[in-house]
C-alpha cells in the first residue's frame, strides 16, 4: 500500500508562506517600539558621542576639536561641583526613597478595611506632574510665607531657609522628590508582597514565627527581584535629576544644588555650547553604566527568582 507523502512541495510552500506572514506580522507589531528606540534613544546616544568632539554653538558651523571638551570638562570647577552634588543627591535620595517605599508597601499589605483608599492616596503624587509638585513645595518651603515654617513657629522654631540655605537646600529638594516618587516604588514592592504564597505564612505560623522574623526570613528574600529593579531604576533616575532643581532653585544658592543634568542643560541651551554639553552627557552615560554594572554584580547575588 503506497504511503502518503506528507512533505510534498505544495505543503512546504504553504508552510513557508504562513511562516513569512507570521514573521511580517511580528515585525509590524514591534516596528513602532523599534523605530522609537532608534530615533529617540540610539540615535541621540551616538550623536552625543560624535558632537562631543566638536566646538558647536548650535547655530554656528561645527569645528572638530577632538578631546578638548573632555580636557576642559575635568578642569571646570563648576562641573566638578555639579558632579559632587549629583553623587550627594544619589546618596541622600535613593536609600531614603527605597526605605520609605518599603515601609509604605508593608503597611499597605495589611488586610485592613478601606486599605484601597490609602493605596490610592499614596500613589496620587506619582500621577501629578513634577512641575506642579515642585511649585507646590516652593510655596511650602517659602522662608517668610511657607506653610512649613508657619507650623514650626508654633514650637518657637525660627524660620528656616529650606531652599536658600546651602547646607539643607539639596536635602529639601530630595524630600520633595521622595514624596513624589515613593508611591511608584511602593506599588512595585506591594505587588511583590502580595505575590508571596499564603502557604508560606501558614507554615511559619505553625512554627510560631515572630512578625520580625517573618519580614526578614520570608518577605524580604522573596521580594528581592522587585527590590533589585527598584534600586536599579532609582539610581539611574537619581543621576539624571533635573526638573526639581530647575523649578525650585535653578542650581542655587550658589552651586549647592547644581547637578550635572542642570549644568548640561545650561551649557546646551543657555550658553550655546552643545559640544561641551554632549561631553558631559557622555561622561554621565559612562558613570551610570559603570554604577549599574557594579550594582548588578553586587545585588544579583542576593536575588532569588523562585518561591
At residue 1, the pLDDT reads: 46
- CA distance linking residue 111 with residue 139, whole number of Å: 37
Q: Please report where in the chains the cell 514565627 appears, as a residue.
A: 209
At residue 8, the pLDDT reads: 59
At residue 161, the pLDDT reads: 93
Mean pLDDT in each 10-residue stretch from start to end of the chain (307 residues)?
52 66 84 91 90 86 90 93 96 95 93 88 94 94 92 91 93 95 94 89 84 88 91 94 94 92 93 92 94 87 59
Q: Hey, what's the cell of 192? A: 511583590
CATH superfamily of 70-302: MetI-like (1.10.3720.10)
The answer to whether 196 and 219 are in contact (CB under 8 A) is yes
At residue 12, the pLDDT reads: 58
Domain boundaries, given as residue ranges, for the chain:
9-51, 70-302
Amino acid at each position: 500500500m503506497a504511503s502518503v507523502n506528507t512533505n510534498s512541495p505544495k505543503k512546504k510552500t504553504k508552510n513557508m508562506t504562513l511562516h513569512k506572514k507570521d514573521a511580517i506580522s511580528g515585525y509590524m507589531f514591534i516596528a513602532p517600539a523599534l523605530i522609537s528606540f532608534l530615533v529617540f534613544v540610539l540615535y541621540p546616544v551616538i550623536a552625543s558621542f560624535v558632537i562631543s568632539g566638536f566646538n558647536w554653538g548650535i547655530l554656528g558651523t561645527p569645528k572638530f576639536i577632538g578631546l578638548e571638551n573632555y580636557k576642559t570638562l575635568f578642569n571646570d570647577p563648576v562641573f566638578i561641583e555639579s558632579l559632587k552634588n549629583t553623587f550627594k543627591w544619589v546618596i541622600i535620595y535613593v536609600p531614603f526613597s527605597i526605605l520609605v517605599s518599603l515601609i509604605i508597601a508593608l503597611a499597605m499589605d495589611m488586610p485592613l478595611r478601606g486599605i484601597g483608599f490609602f493605596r490610592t492616596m499614596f500613589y496620587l503624587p506619582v500621577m501629578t506632574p513634577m512641575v506642579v509638585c515642585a511649585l507646590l513645595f516652593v510655596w511650602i518651603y517659602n522662608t517668610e510665607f511657607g506653610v512649613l515654617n508657619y507650623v514650626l513657629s508654633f514650637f518657637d522654631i525660627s524660620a528656616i531657609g529650606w531652599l536658600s540655605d546651602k547646607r539643607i537646600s539639596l536635602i529639601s529638594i530630595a524630600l520633595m522628590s521622595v514624596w513624589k516618587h515613593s508611591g511608584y516604588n511602593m506599588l512595585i514592592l506591594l505587588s511583590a508582597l502580595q505575590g508571596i504564597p499564603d502557604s508560606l505564612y501558614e507554615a511559619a505560623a505553625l512554627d510560631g514565627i515572630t512578625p520580625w522574623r517573618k519580614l526578614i526570613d520570608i518577605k524580604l528574600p522573596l521580594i528581592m527581584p522587585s527590590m533589585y529593579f527598584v534600586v536599579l531604576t532609582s539610581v539611574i533616575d537619581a543621576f539624571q535629576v533635573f526638573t526639581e532643581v530647575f523649578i525650585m532653585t535653578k542650581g542655587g544658592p550658589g552651586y549647592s544644588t547644581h547637578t550635572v543634568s542642570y549644568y548640561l542643560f545650561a551649557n546646551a541651551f543657555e550658553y550655546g555650547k552643545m559640544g561641551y554639553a554632549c561631553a558631559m552627557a557622555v561622561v554621565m552615560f559612562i558613570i551610570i553604566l559603570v554604577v549599574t554594572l557594579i550594582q548588578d554584580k553586587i545585588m544579583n547575588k542576593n536575588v532569588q527568582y523562585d518561591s
